[in-house]
Structure 1
Amino acid sequence: MKHVVELSNVTKIFSNLRGIHQVNMTVQRGDIYGFFGPNGAGKTTVMKIMTGLSQAQQGQVKLFGYDVKTQYEQAMAKVGVLIETAEAYTYMSGRRNLEQAARLYPGVSKQRIDEVLEIVDLTPFQHEKVAGYSLGMKQRLGLAAAMLSKPELLILDEPTNGLDIEGMVHIREIILRLAREERITFLISSHLIHEMELMCNRIGIIHQGKLVREGLVSDLINGSPSLEAAYLREIQEVRGLAANA
């Protein structure tokens, strides 16, 4: 199956008239897909609808060919999710948190917990209470929890938000290694376009609730000095079209 994620005309409007409007989007197997836009553009809303945490008013979401609304268990069977801030019991150790999370999935072994701790470089700190973890360590613990079921798709909402440079680099290296060695497909939202350029092969740009461009990073740059410059060009074009409508 080429398309791991398919969104068709997905719409959700809130009482303040903000929301998302007819979002059409595809993530292909093997992608590190960057879902980029400023804060409030609609990234988290799309991801919550995609993972069944919120309901669209219109449109359809398919993961691995299964409709999230009507075939939820099949759609989410191969998906790991980290939406917004990684939550954990701070009075427990990192390992104990993973043991608790593992109860949500059938057949997660002690060995698998060892594996994900190693992947996110938390093995030396696994018996320390999460209360003493840095923000970067908490994010890595959340990533480890999302990987317990050996997912083929990881959906990560702002995984580097609030991290210092070292923390951002660490998360980026883990994502690139997992894509290369584990063949995991990623959908990653961010408002940090430099991070998107360093990690992603494809990108979708969302602006005021509308997906205004989607494609290969190399095609989007298309002669611009950087992805940031290409983004500003796209937004200027969108605003120009809106002004002339």
Structure 2
Amino acid sequence: MKPVVEIEGLTKMYKNNRGIQDVTMTVRQGDIYGFFGPNGAGKTTVMKIMAGLSRAQRGTVKLLGYDVAEQYEQAMSKVGVLIETAEVYSYMSGRKNLELAAKFYPHVTSGRIDEVLEIVGLTPFQHEKAAGYSLGMKQRLGLAAALLSGPELMILDEPTNGLDIEGMVQMRDIMMRLAREQRITFLISSHLIHEMELMCNRIGIIHQGRLLCEASVPYLLEQWESLEAVYMHHIQEDRKVTLHA
């Protein structure tokens, strides 16, 4: 499958000496790619650079063949993004939130809004004010907004963070169905490794700003009893290297 995300040598360091260093990774068409590491490992920094919300000091990001820094509009034209928590206007209904988001996409029709509401399971609640939505419903509304443009790639930062078990299952089922039925490629960050094991076909492990491992899930599970074991091995080995550096 052709690369959908190509990241090469991505570096951005902050004044506190935290950030990301020389991150190189590839997401291919059809992947559900789990990008995980502990809180503060650099996941959100990478995703903000991918979405054009932050600039790297070095390195390149290509989405669907376009360089984000040089060809931003083309790079983002078929990309849906949900970074951290969904931006929801609580005083508006779910549908009104989507109608507002749709103003950024001239080709999005009322019918498309109907479609994404159905996809995320919010059709029965579309006219209710978002203030009454649960956290899971707000995340699904954010996912619906990211789907409006009919993206080929979805970049989702911790989409199940803070959700209860039912909310996590609902979000996981929606993403797996979209990947299967609409062939949407997903890059999903998380620190919930068991959730990633249920959903992803490829993973990347990031720790202290460095990508430690990138591999297919079936391959890793042939070598290890679980992704948790893979994760702990790489994290512990990295800490040893850091300690003796």
Q: TM-score, normalised by structure 1?
A: 0.98
Q: Which runs of 5+ in 2 are unaligned?
A: none
| Aligned mates of 1:10, 1:145 — CA distance in 2 | 28
1:215 equivalent in structure 2: 215
- Deviation of 1:154 after TM superposition, in Å, equals 0.4
Counterpart of 2:74 in 1: which secondary structure? helix
More displaced, 213-222 or 7-16?
Answer: 213-222
| Aligned mates of 1:188, 1:53 — CA distance in 2 | 17
Deviations 1:211-230 (A, max 9, x none): 01001012223432211011
| Aligned mates of 1:57, 1:223 — CA distance in 2 | 36
Alignment of 1:1-245 (within 5 A): 2-245=2-245
- Deviation of 1:239 after TM superposition, in Å, equals 2.5
Deviations 1:76-114 (A, max 9, x none): 011000001001110000000000000001210111000
Counterpart of 1:144 in 2: which secondary structure? helix
Counterpart of 1:212 in 2: which secondary structure? strand
| Aligned mates of 2:44, 2:238 — CA distance in 1 | 21
- Deviation of 1:121 after TM superposition, in Å, equals 0.2
| Aligned mates of 1:135, 1:236 — CA distance in 2 | 34
| Aligned mates of 2:227, 2:44 — CA distance in 1 | 22
Letter in 2 for 1:176: M
Counterpart of 2:196 in 1: which secondary structure? helix
| Aligned mates of 1:209, 1:83 — CA distance in 2 | 18
Deviations 1:145-196 (A, max 9, x none): 0000000000000000000000000000000000000100000000000011
Give the count of matched residue pairs.
245
| Aligned mates of 2:88, 2:240 — CA distance in 1 | 45
More displaced, 31-40 or 231-240?
Answer: 231-240
Deviations 1:26-67 (A, max 9, x none): 000000000000100000000000110000000000001111
| Aligned mates of 1:54, 1:242 — CA distance in 2 | 27
Letter in 1 for 2:119: I
After superposition, the CA RMSD in angstroms is 1.0
| Aligned mates of 2:23, 2:207 — CA distance in 1 | 11
| Aligned mates of 2:77, 2:94 — CA distance in 1 | 24
Letter in 1 for 2:121: D
| Aligned mates of 1:34, 1:78 — CA distance in 2 | 20
Q: Which runs of 5+ in 1 are unaligned?
A: none
| Aligned mates of 2:133, 2:39 — CA distance in 1 | 26
